[in-house]
Structure 1
Amino acid sequence: MIAPILAALNQLPDPKFRMVLLKAVAMTLGVLIVLYTVVGYLVSGIDPFSLPWIGMVDPAGLLAGLAVGAMMLASVFLMIPVASLCIGFLLDDIAEAVEQKHYAHLPAATPPGLLTTIVDTVRFFVILVVANIAALAIYLLVAPLAPFIFYLVNGYLLGREYFQLVALRRLPPREASALRKSNRGRIWVIGVAMAVPLSIPVLNLIVPLIGVAAYTHLFHRLRGNVSTQAGFNTQAR
């Protein structure tokens, strides 16, 4: 499982890969800025009021500070669905960059249409948000195990979705699902390896791109396709 991740990391200097990385970082930061702005706007709309013996109270300033702090804390949890939302629109660009460098001998893939991409990306974003909200109850019940549950749940969801989308570029839905199900353990491991650094600021901006690239390599490894680049053999074992 290390080889696909290392191959993805080795491609970071690739100009086309860097361009996709810049797009992913810009989109992720843009979404987070919008979220912060919306929360700040909602808080600023609260009017000052007067309390007996205290006088005028301006809750906007207090709530703004609390909201920013809460958003910074929530960003650890928000980063996974936000990153998935952004990277979903760039998944084909990432997979194409990997295939042009490592699998140029293969015929061109057939990515899904724009409407399908939008529907799948938004659907997965909603699933991630709902799953993490539902898991909050479990986190409270078993607080010491909360980080492990968080990474296991999100690692499974990320791996399932990204591998499936990568596979659908070259396989019919039924075959893509069958390949994913028969290799769910490997896919889950890479998903967890992807979920852990997603909670680390700055590093979480590049992790989704590395994850999708790693799943592209894993897909070709499972299909028996060999990389044309020396030093990295993706032939299935």
Structure 2
Amino acid sequence: MIINAFLKALGQLTDSRFLGVLGLGVGLTIGLLIAFYAAFVLFIGWMLPESFALPWIGEITWVDNALAVAGIPLMLLLSIFLMVPVASAFMGIFIDRVAGAVEDRHYPGLPPARGLSIGEALVDVAKFLAVLVGVNLVALILYLLFAPLAPLLFWVVNGVLLGREYGQMVALRHESAAGAAAFRKRHRPTLFAAGVLMTVPLTIPVVNLLVPILGAATFTHLYHMLNGTRARPSRSG
């Protein structure tokens, strides 16, 4: 079911509405990474003197520039961790557009979605980001203690969190808060597995830029599949 939902989402990636959201999402993500990189370079410039001298070597003037260049791969590495909260924020901002595009193509007989107001989405995202950061800070101790297992732990921890959040946000478009919570609890194992499926490619630089929109579409399909909503038969060609 999860693979089927993901393949349906992948098959719609060239949809004009998807491409519009994808462009916005990629632009916002790259802008965020550039902002972090600029902050890193400014911090290095503030911390290090422009030049200093060492015995037998003489004046050193290139350390800050070298560190600034080294900051580029550092930002790519940092993007692995940044993309998890970015994916959550993306979900809150663009869920209605992505889910609406999926439902218009695959589930045209549905009644209009309740949708989420900007206020509702921002409050939900803010709460989730606080939980996400807090849990990952605690999990950081486990990552350090069990370094060889750190990637697996990262996938499991964030798979649980993202599966919960994406499942909740998709369900809220059609149900009350109580109904969405009941849906999430009823299908916890499936949502967890889908969350892990989304978390793994989030750790791959560049590829992770595509994951938030595919995740939103995949979870939209999952919601309707789990609720027994009949999809429109795929059109060939």
Number of residues of Structure 1 aligned to a counterpart in Structure 2: 231
Partner of 2:178: 174
Q: Which stretch of the first structure deviates more once superposed, 58-67 or 162-171?
A: 58-67
1:94-133 to 2 correspondence within 5 Å?
A: 94-133=98-137
* Cα distance in 2 between the residues matched to 1:114 and 1:88: 8
Which letter maps to 2:50? P
TM (normalized to structure 2)? 0.89
Any idea what SS the aligned residue of 1:45 has? helix
Partner of 2:35: 34
* Cα distance in 1 between the residues matched to 2:33 and 2:126: 16
Per-residue Cα deviation, 1:51-80 (whole angstroms, up to 9, x for no partner): 563665555334424444433322222222
203, 209, 222: which one aligns with 1:218: 222
**Does the alignment pair 1:61 with 2:65?**
yes
Per-residue Cα deviation, 1:192-227 (whole angstroms, up to 9, x for no partner): 011111111221111111111111111111222111
Partner of 1:15: 16
Indicate the percent of aligned positions where both proteins have the same amino acid.
42
**1:170 positional shift:** 0.6
Q: Is the 8 A contact 1:24 1:87 kept in 2?
A: no
Partner of 2:138: 134
**Does the alignment pair 1:48 with 2:50?**
yes
**1:133 positional shift:** 2.4
206, 210, 220: which one aligns with 2:210: 206
* Cα distance in 2 between the residues matched to 1:52 and 1:147: 41
* Cα distance in 1 between the residues matched to 2:234 and 2:92: 30
* Cα distance in 1 between the residues matched to 2:83 and 2:159: 13
Q: Which runs of 4+ in 1 moved over 6 A?
A: none
Any idea what SS the aligned residue of 1:196 has? helix
Q: 1:229 to 1:5 in 2, by over 3 A?
A: same
Q: Is the 8 A contact 2:37 2:72 kept in 1?
A: yes
Any idea what SS the aligned residue of 2:205 has? coil
Q: Is the 8 A contact 2:83 2:202 kept in 1?
A: yes
70, 79, 86: which one aligns with 1:82: 86
Any idea what SS the aligned residue of 1:61 has? helix
* C-alpha RMSD of matched pairs (Å): 2.0
* Cα distance in 2 between the residues matched to 1:98 and 1:116: 21
Stretches of structure 1 lacking an aligned partner (at least 5 in a row): 232-237
Stretches of structure 2 lacking an aligned partner (at least 5 in a row): none
Any idea what SS the aligned residue of 2:105 has? helix
* Cα distance in 2 between the residues matched to 1:220 and 1:179: 11
Partner of 1:235: none
